[in-house]
Structure 1
Amino acid sequence: MTSSNSVKVTNVAIIGGGVAGPALALCLKKHHNIMSTIYELRPAGDERGVNIALAPNGVRVLQHVGVYDELRAQGFSYEQLQISNAHSQPLGRLWHGSRKHYNFQCLRIHRSTVQKELLKEAKAQGIPIVYGKKLVALTEKHDGVEITFADNETVSASFVIGADGVHSNVRDLIMGTETGYSGFMGIIGMRLARDKLHKSVQDVILPDFVFGKTGFVAIMPSNYDGTEVDFFSTMPYPSHSRKEWDELSQDKTKLQAILRERFGKDWPEFVVGITRDYKKEGLELYPFFEVPPLDRWTSTGGRVILIGDAAHAFTPQAGQGAAVGLEDAETLAHTMSREGFATDHMRFLKIWEKHRQARLVQVKRLTDINGRLRSPDPPLVQSLKEWIMWANFKWSGPMGKLEWLFGYNAEDILSHY
């Protein structure tokens, strides 16, 4: 006779085929032999998105699911990040990744490349992926969830995972929480030839985060050999309607003017040159929306679970959006595989939720500090901020006291059960 505690979870539906969703599917299948189906709104081959930096806590999950080696050959791996001011004075250097300290370097890579490799591996593992599926309804029952899509197809699952991003349909259906504009937007330009930048960049260690009285700009290599770079700036900006954001994102002349106004003078020449010479058609705009802090990441019955941006979206000013989503995926997979989860899931999910929420409070605090440092300020205030950054590196050293962030391992969740 089989004990009720040995009953395994089956028939998991994952809504969202971005990064966290496929990572969860792979963790469930490869580590715990639990099958799932991925339902993705966009068509196959959609490659929207921009370059992202994946710190060791995110890269570690990619290695665990078997895609890191493929991704490492397609992005730029680095360990130290230079911090400087608009006068080209170094403020410090940060270990943003380290084989010695964290076992992994940091990886700069296009988000769609990560998604593509995850989905490719999911397909190789026999995990079904269904594209063009828009979720419109969820009906939670005591033993499962009924899912309805816009094409009128209805399917049943024992558990549903909402991995469908900041504007999550799953979250809207189980708790109705709306996202809000964070007060920050980002402008990014990609695929600049490094040898076309002003010669002054030869004296700069890249990646370089540059801070000044009119804001912040980063220059980061983005391909395997570092011959291509991208630049980006996150900045405070007034709230707009959806229509106004769409119009601004299409107005490349306006985006270039914003960059020139902020960084077109009194900045290092290689920064000034980018605002002048980069072809405006390549500029991308991203307003950053946030999910307000949620008391719970699950439905009242615990059979619908949120991960990634669907649960805790915030601005990317700590470079942790994708990484903590990957953490969610692996920790949840370990949780769902525990003996007794199928019959006592509410207890296990409360433990998982408490563990993850406590960590996300720390990540959000770091994000908010970084946002404050990147904001424009009068000269005296900016000088004080730069002095504080310099003093902090002198005190904390290149590790920056961020071992808690970069050294996190998803298996740590197992000690809580």
Structure 2
Amino acid sequence: MTLQNVAIIGGGLAGLSLSLFLNQRNIKTTIYELRSSNITSAGAIMLSPNALKSLDKIGAFDRIKSKGYFFRDVTFRNDEHEYLDAYEMGNADRFGYDALRIYRQVILDELRSMNGEAGVDIIHEKKFSHVVSENDNGVTFAFADGETCTADLLIGADGIHSTVRRYLVSGIKPAFSSVMAVTCAIPTKAVQVPYKPYEMPVSIHGQAGAFVMAPQNAEGSELLAGIQYRTHERTREAWDALFNDKQQLLDIMRADYDTWNPMVKSAIDAVPLDTLAIWPFHTVPKIEKWKSDKGRVIILGDSAHAIPPAAGQGVNQAFEDVHSLSILMGAANQGKVQWNESLDWWQEYRQNRIDRVTSLTNEMNRRRLPGWAGEGETIDSSWLFGVEIDKDVNAWIAEKK
């Protein structure tokens, strides 16, 4: 089987990075994106060493490293600022990279530019509809406007509400975890720290749970601030209404105002209404298969394994997906491995890490809700950040040879 013409559904971080990995292996890609080209993405993401290592492979790290905020630990403190614990999110001495917090739009813009430079077609406002047919020679698929296309491989990188996923498994719906984050962006100078220097990012734990503050631009002049809040599932329309009701979001953030220390109070007092946002934590139940029987349709990233953001690993795991898959695709084209066997191994390899990341995420969620006061062991991130994807995948390929 040769894979020379690949269609990617979804022009987000996973789809854009995958096309760059495949371009290195002389595999032609076309990206189909539902949204228009002028839609922007709000908020920032945390990139840990495992993802930065992958981004470095496609030349993206050098283009973004000056545009975000580097750090190593998130420090956990109680309401009196006493040290509880720390979670290592990066360490250049141990893993080659510190963690990088960066605006999502910044990295989207860079990856889009890189795809343009590589000659990759990104077709916007194109809504994927369904797979028409699949055989040993390829896959034919349709869009909502009635157009059909054919490719050697169709990859669904279309997010938690993936349409491509419906072709592989039926009845899979994202499940709400009963937790959402309420976040905003505040000026760092508005926060009254009790002493200087005060380590950031920080997670301050009080009666109401955790209040998180994290720098999110290169100079550290702006902070993400946020809380996690237990709530009920809503319809899409109700979630949209809540997102647009900035006063209600501020009321949620201020609900336990009197219980917080002066530093947190100063942060809450500085909240700009227009930056308030929500992030409902949805997950995707474990999916039995990420590929079709003939291996011509695949899902990855949030389409296959959406992870809540408490440990900051959702997009990082998507980058691991595309990095590892691209190596296998190159090996299949060289006749070193059988494609379907490769996909079986790939899903097992990736699922094992996703399972461990899910456990880590659950622990971070537990720590951010009311009741945690520092108990439990310090989290060891070495298994997560020390991964060597090229080594792991190439070792399996060598066994097959």
Alignment TM-score, normalising by the size of structure 2: 0.94
Distance 2:52 2:226 in 1: 22
1:407 maps to 386
Local SS of the residue matching 2:40: coil
Matched, 1:63 2:56: yes
8 Å Cα contact 1:186/1:235 also seen in 2: yes
2:140 maps to 146
Task: Output the amino acid matched with 2:173.
Answer: E
The structure 2 residue matched to 1:231, chosen from 225, 233, 238, is 225
8 Å Cα contact 2:184/2:225 also seen in 1: yes
Listed one character per residue, the Cα deviations across residues 296-325 of structure 1 (whole Å, up to 9, x for unaligned) are 111232211111000000211110001000
Local SS of the residue matching 1:388: coil
Matched ranges for 1:94-105 at <5 A: 94-105=87-98
The structure 2 residue matched to 1:21, chosen from 15, 27, 31, is 15
8 Å Cα contact 2:182/2:249 also seen in 1: yes
The structure 1 residue matched to 2:212, chosen from 218, 225, 238, is 218
8 Å Cα contact 2:69/2:102 also seen in 1: yes
1:3 maps to none
8 Å Cα contact 1:234/1:317 also seen in 2: no
Matched, 1:245 2:239: yes
Distance 1:82 1:13, change over 3 A: same
8 Å Cα contact 1:87/1:267 also seen in 2: no
Distance 1:201 1:229 in 2: 17
Matched, 1:133 2:126: yes
> How far is 1:173 from its partner?
3.0
Distance 1:181 1:242 in 2: 12
1:181 maps to 176
The structure 2 residue matched to 1:303, chosen from 291, 296, 305, is 296
Q: Which runs of 5+ in 2 are unaligned?
A: none
> How far is 1:265 from its partner?
2.2
Listed one character per residue, the Cα deviations across residues 83-115 of structure 1 (whole Å, up to 9, x for unaligned) are 111221111233321111010110101112211
Local SS of the residue matching 2:194: helix
Distance 1:116 1:189 in 2: 22
Distance 2:374 2:156 in 1: 43
Distance 1:11 1:225 in 2: 42
2:189 maps to 195
Task: Output the amino acid matched with 1:291.
Answer: V
2:263 maps to 270
Matched, 1:72 2:65: yes
8 Å Cα contact 1:234/1:374 also seen in 2: yes
Distance 2:396 2:205 in 1: 41
The percent identity for this pair of structures is 31
The structure 2 residue matched to 1:109, chosen from 102, 118, 123, is 102
Distance 1:322 1:234 in 2: 20
Give RMSD over aligned pairs: 1.7
Distance 2:205 2:291 in 1: 40
Task: Output the amino acid matched with 1:124.
Answer: E
> How far is 1:73 from its partner?
1.3
Report the count of equivalent residues: 393
8 Å Cα contact 1:83/1:210 also seen in 2: yes
Local SS of the residue matching 2:31: strand
Distance 1:341 1:168, change over 3 A: farther
Local SS of the residue matching 1:82: strand
> How far is 1:116 from its partner?
1.4
1:81 maps to 74
Listed one character per residue, the Cα deviations across residues 10-37 of structure 1 (whole Å, up to 9, x for unaligned) are 100011110011111111112x221111
Distance 1:90 1:403, change over 3 A: same
1:312 maps to 305
Matched ranges for 1:357-372 at <5 A: 357-372=351-366
Distance 1:415 1:201 in 2: 50
Distance 1:295 1:340 in 2: 26
1:207 maps to 201
8 Å Cα contact 2:190/2:266 also seen in 1: no
1:119 maps to 112
Distance 1:387 1:187, change over 3 A: closer
Distance 1:201 1:283, change over 3 A: farther
8 Å Cα contact 1:293/1:312 also seen in 2: yes
Distance 2:367 2:86 in 1: 16
Distance 1:100 1:374, change over 3 A: same
Local SS of the residue matching 1:271: helix
The structure 1 residue matched to 2:162, chosen from 168, 173, 198, is 168
Listed one character per residue, the Cα deviations across residues 266-318 of structure 1 (whole Å, up to 9, x for unaligned) are 22312112222312222011212211100111123221111100000021111
Matched ranges for 1:273-292 at <5 A: 273-292=266-285
Local SS of the residue matching 1:164: coil
Structure 1 runs (4+) deviating above 6 angstroms are none
- Judge which range, 229-238 or 123-132, deviates more: 229-238
2:375 maps to 388
> How far is 1:388 from its partner?
1.2
> How far is 1:340 from its partner?
5.8
Task: Output the amino acid matched with 2:393.
Answer: I
1:257 maps to 251
